[in-house]
């Protein structure tokens, strides 16, 4: 990932404890919803300028790594 900036955070005082991009009130689910709806990362970033491209891309990379690890653990495949 190559970044030291915090990507996401969760705080009961921010958006009811939902997972948000660090330093914002933007739920990470919003990015997923945008992508599922056929929109681009650029569309998302235009609508939510408090989220950096670095954060959005890092979140997607982290999500892919977790999915890969979970699949490998569940199936014994890599």
The pLDDT value recorded for residue 71 is 86
The pLDDT value recorded for residue 18 is 95
User: For residue 8, what are the β-bridge partners?
Assistant: 21
In a domain, 49, yes or no: yes
In a domain, 45, yes or no: yes
In a domain, 2, yes or no: no
What is the full per-residue pLDDT of the chain (78 aa) written as tens digits? 444 469 999 999 999 999 999 999 999 999 999 999 999 999 999 999 999 999 999 999 999 999 988 888 888 876
Length of the chain: 78
Which range marks the domain in which residue 49 is found? 8-75
* 1: nearest Cα among 78, 69, 60, 44: 60
The whole-angstrom separation of Cα 78 and Cα 36 is: 26
Domain of 47, CATH number, reads: 1.10.10.10
Domain count along the chain: 1
In a domain, 3, yes or no: no
């Amino acid at each position: 990932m190559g970044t030291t900036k915090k990507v996401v955070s969760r705080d009961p005082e921010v958006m009811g404890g939902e997972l948000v991009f660090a330093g914002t009130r933007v739920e990470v689910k919003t990015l997923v919803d945008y992508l599922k709806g056929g929109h681009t990362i650029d569309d998302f970033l235009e609508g939510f300028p408090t989220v950096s491209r670095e954060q959005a891309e890092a979140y997607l990379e982290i999500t892919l790594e977790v999915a890969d690890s979970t699949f490998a653990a569940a199936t014994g495949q890599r």
